[in-house]
Structure formats: structure tokens, C-alpha cells
Amino acid sequence: MTLQGNTLKGDALKHAIGQTRDKWGWFVALGVLLLILGGIAFGNLLIATVASVYIVGWLMLLGGAIEIVHAFGVKTWGRFAYWLLSGLLYAVAGFFAFYNPLLASAVLTFMLAVALVASGVLRAWIGYQHRDEKGSGWIIAAGVITALAGLLIALRWPMNSLWVLGLFLAIDLVFQGWTFIAFGLALRKMKQA
């Protein structure tokens, strides 16, 4: 029974991989689209920044709505108040992102700078704690670079809040595009082999 179950799982996996290989063109097309969008974002970082603020705003509105609905499902008054207040705060922050996206971008850019500095310092410290292990130098270097990026953003804040989030979005779109293109071409190569 176990052998037959493993055979069925193996056949299903081979079938899924085969179907994915047949769709290699879609991965390449998606990659090209993401590259184009990344290029557009690089061309106008302010619009890309506003777009990223709107994305965060929608996510906060959705998260707030879910927490508010969840509040009505809890049984005690303390928990109800906590979830309701939390959901309302998320929803207000989401509305704020739509009401004043430039001010919201300044807040998000500052939070990004703080997060980069904190995570970079933590990563460097962890790497230093394991400095006797192979590869710890890479962890320390990555931590230092991340912390320096956060410091650079913080030192130019709030002026850079008009373009930093857009720059991050543009870079992410370009890398995602190249990744999908590479994946699609690898699937095509596997299909031909």
C-alpha cells in the first residue's frame, strides 16, 4: 500500500512538472512584463513610491477589516476590545495612506531605515558571535551593508522619502522579471532535453 501510494504521488509530481514545463512561455512573458514595469518604475520613482504606498494601504485596510470581523468572534470583552482597536488602527492607517500618500511614504521610509539598521546590526552581531564558523564573514558583511543602507536612508530622510520606496519597488520588479525569465528558459531547456 505504501509503495503504491508513493508511486501515485510520484506520478502526480511528474505530471505537475510536465504541465509546468509546457507553460514555460508564460513564465518568460511574465518576466518580460515585470521587467517593463520595473523600467517604468525606474523612470518615475515618485509614481512608483505612491504605488507602493497604495499597496501597503490596501493591505492595511484588508488586515484591519479582518481584525474587526475577528473581534466579533471572540467571547471576552477584553479580547474583543483589543482586536477591535487593533483592526481600527490598521484601517485608519490604511485610509491615511490613501489620504496623504506622500506623508505616508515619509513614515514608511523612516520605518524602513530603522528596520534596515536594526536587522543589519543584529545580523552582523550574530555573524560575529559565530565568527569561528565557516561563512560567518559573509553574514557579518551582509549585516554591515544592510545597516549602512539603513543609515544612508535615515541620513537623507525625509527628502528621500519621495523616491526610496519606488526605487525598492523598481529593483524588486527587475529582479523578479529576470528570475521568471531564467526559470521559464530553464523549463524550456528541460522540455527540449
pLDDT tens-digit series, residues 85-119: 999 999 999 999 999 999 999 999 999 999 999 99
**What is the distance between the terminal CA atoms of the chain, rounded to a whole angstrom?**
33
Q: What is the mean pLDDT of residues 30-53?
A: 94
Preceding amide of 101 cis, omega within 30: no
pLDDT of residue 73: 86
Residue 174 lies in a domain: yes
What's the predicted TM-score (pTM) here? 0.72
pLDDT of residue 190: 77
DSSP string covering the chain? -HHHHHHHHHHHHHHHHHHHHHTHHHHHHHHHHHHHHHHHHHH-HHHHHHHHHHHHHHHHHHHHHHHHHHHTT-SSHHHHHHHHHHHHHHHHHHHHHHH-HHHHHHHHHHHHHHHHHHHHHHHHHHHHHTTTSTTHHHHHHHHHHHHHHHHHHHHTTTGGGGTHHHHHHHHHHHHHHHHHHHHHHHHHHHHH-
Among 1-5, 32-36, 54-58, 150-154, the least confident range: 1-5
Residue 28 lies in a domain: no
User: Where does the pLDDT of residue 23 fall: very low under 50, low under 70, confident under 90, or very high at 90 and above?
Assistant: confident
Residue 8 lies in a domain: no
Residue 10 lies in a domain: no
Q: What is the mean pLDDT of residues 24-42?
A: 93
Distance CA 115, CA 59 (A): 19
pLDDT tens-digit series, residues 58-84: 999 999 999 999 898 887 877 888 889
- The region that residue 157 occupies, defined by phi over 0 for left and psi between -120 and 50 for alpha, beta otherwise, is beta
User: Where does the pLDDT of residue 6 fall: very low under 50, low under 70, confident under 90, or very high at 90 and above?
Assistant: low
Domain hosting residue 69, numbered range: 34-182
Residue 133 lies in a domain: yes
User: Where does the pLDDT of residue 153 fall: very low under 50, low under 70, confident under 90, or very high at 90 and above?
Assistant: very high
pLDDT of residue 133: 87
Query: Total domain count for the chain?
Result: 1
